[in-house]
Structure 1
């Protein structure tokens, strides 16, 4: 485990961090490492921003529904 000092975290955030770590049975350092380690996973807002920038397909809804139903029927 890398040494991740937490004593410089100010007041209330530090208290919340310690409480969350304790409730998960981890040290404050372990909690910080796990939290920061998740930074590579996009947040919901980041995913929605990316999705919002995409253009829709040109397949009419009726054709898409029929294709899904046909595929489902073939599998059953």
Structure 2
């Protein structure tokens, strides 16, 4: 993957290691209660794009765990 700022759905799914179907479903549902929030996206005409910095911020919001029994906050 190159260093472009706007990623396609395929590139974004690879970047965050989630499926394309997850991204599609998340766009359709939005941010519903008790669900993982959807990553932000932009529309350019009919094209859906994900900004790399938005995906980084989206990933950073999740708490890091050393193992399932212990939560550890970093940063």
TM-score class normalised by the smaller sequence? 0.3 to 0.5
Which structure dedicates a bigger proportion of its chain to helix? 1
- Greater length-normalized contact order (CA 8 Å, ≥ 6 residues apart): 2
Which structure dedicates a bigger proportion of its chain to strand? 2
Q: TM-score by structure 1 length?
A: 0.34
